[in-house]
Amino acid sequence: MANKDLTVIASGGDGDGYAIGMGHTIHALRRNMNMTYIVMDNQIYGLTKGQTSPSSAQGFVTKSTPKGNIEQNVAPLELALSSGATFVAQGFSSDIKALTKMIEDAINHDGFSFVNVFSPCVTYNKVNTYDWFKENLTDIADIDGYDFTDKNDGNTKGARIQFTS
């Protein structure tokens, strides 16, 4: 970060970004550091055999939560907006064209760029699958009157996405 001529891109998973590394995430957002942070969000800890992650829906059943996740899931976009990020976006790993443009825009943004990418875990998450996302995601460009430059519009129309289990 000391060399202003470098393009800084960080990536991690939802477990890292929204739990283990949350302290770092919040402060990078608050400082509006000139960097891009891409979170691959699969709503589960896939590398440790499928426990719930901070973005797992309340009620989501896993081997370690057989009666369902008792906690409400983290709202990544609300978190980024309320912490001061000046570029907030959310995409889907299956939509390569839109995701590529989104990440390019994030990298070219002056300030902190936060990109949450829904990336289904085909091994441990049998609920939020590629087909589920294709059926349940809406492109904000398709919402009449949505102004992506208006932070309040982002908070009311785009930030909170609930998952069902």
pLDDT at 2: 74
120, with CB counted inside 10 A (0-12, 13-18, 19+), is: buried
What single-letter DSSP state applies at residue 6?
S
- Give the model confidence (pLDDT) of 45-85 as tens digits: 988 889 999 999 999 999 999 999 999 999 998 889 889 88
| Statement: the pTM of the whole predicted model exceeds 0.75 | yes
The structure tokens listed for 122 are 């085909």
CATH number of the domain at 9-158, out of 3.30.1330.60, 3.40.640.10, 3.40.50.970, 3.40.47.10?
Answer: 3.40.50.970
The structure tokens listed for 130 are 């590629």
Distance, in Å, from the CA atom of 126 to the CA atom of 58, rounded to the nearest integer, reads: 15
Give domain limits for the chain: 9-158
Distance, in Å, from the CA atom of 163 to the CA atom of 127, rounded to the nearest integer, reads: 9
